[in-house]
């Protein structure tokens, strides 16, 4: 994790890919979103989605899974380079989450994250807030999911 001063607007990182299967769609839906079009192929085909569709919250939770995995990789790489590593703070929330197109069984999404803004926070001296636009694109190149995430990150200056 870089410090606030090291985070550049426009920096884009690929978070990874995930394939939604009938099995993982139904497993998530049974616990958190048991609507017919998330549980049953025929109900999905007869719905506006046109097929067995992943819960939007499943699509969102997988994004978090990939953000964490990318963070672990980035941290290992920074450690290997001998860089000082910042520990990020909590996320206060996010804005403008969009489920743009259905995610159907068999779809593979590629998630990316791009830094949209970086600023120091008046309310938390020594910290700043980073906004990132997180996006998922399916195997046909169609954008299916997007949200503007926020996370607190420490400033390097205050820690030294």
Residues that bind a second copy (CB under 8 A): 31-35, 48-49, 55-57, 60-62, 64-65, 68, 89-100, 102, 147
Q: Which one-letter DSSP state was computed for residue 5?
A: G
Of 74 and 94, nearer to a second copy (C-beta) is 94
How far apart are CB 77 and a second copy at their closest, in Å?
Answer: 18
Of 6 and 33, nearer to a second copy (C-beta) is 33
How far apart are CB 102 and a second copy at their closest, in Å?
Answer: 8
- 20 Cβ partners below 8 Å, 6+ apart? 54, 58, 59, 62, 103, 104, 105, 106, 107, 108, 109
How far apart are CB 78 and a second copy at their closest, in Å?
Answer: 17
How far apart are CB 150 and a second copy at their closest, in Å?
Answer: 10
Angstrom distance (rounded) from CA 111 to CA 14: 6
Of 56 and 114, nearer to a second copy (C-beta) is 56
How far apart are CB 44 and a second copy at their closest, in Å?
Answer: 12
Q: Collapsing DSSP states into helix, strand and coil, what is residue 60?
A: helix
Of 8 and 68, nearer to a second copy (C-beta) is 68
Of 8 and 95, nearer to a second copy (C-beta) is 95
Residue carrying structure tokens 């007869």 = 46
Beta strands across the sheet bearing 127-137: 12-19, 108-120, 127-137, 143-154
- 29 Cβ partners below 8 Å, 6+ apart? 35, 38, 39, 54, 55, 58
Kindly report the backbone phi and psi dihedral angles of residue 100, in degrees, each rounded to the nearest multiple of 5, phi listed first: -85, -40
């Amino acid at each position: 994790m870089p410090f606030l001063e090291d985070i550049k607007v426009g920096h884009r990182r690929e978070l990874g890919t995930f394939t939604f299967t009938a099995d993982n769609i139904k497993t998530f839906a049974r616990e958190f979103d048991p609507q017919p079009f998330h549980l049953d192929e025929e109900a999905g085909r007869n719905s506006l989605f046109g097929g067995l569709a992943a819960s939007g919250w499943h699509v969102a939770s997988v994004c978090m899974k990939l953000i964490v995995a990318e963070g672990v990789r980035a941290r290992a790489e920074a450690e290997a380079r001998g860089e000082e590593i910042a520990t990020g703070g909590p996320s206060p929330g996010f804005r403008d989450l969009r489920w743009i197109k259905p995610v159907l069984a068999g779809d593979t999404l590629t998630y990316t994250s791009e830094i949209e803004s970086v600023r120091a926070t008046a309310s938390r001296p020594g910290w700043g807030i980073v906004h990132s636009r997180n996006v998922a694109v399916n195997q046909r190149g169609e954008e299916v999911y997007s949200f503007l995430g926020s996370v607190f990150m420490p400033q390097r200056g205050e820690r030294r």
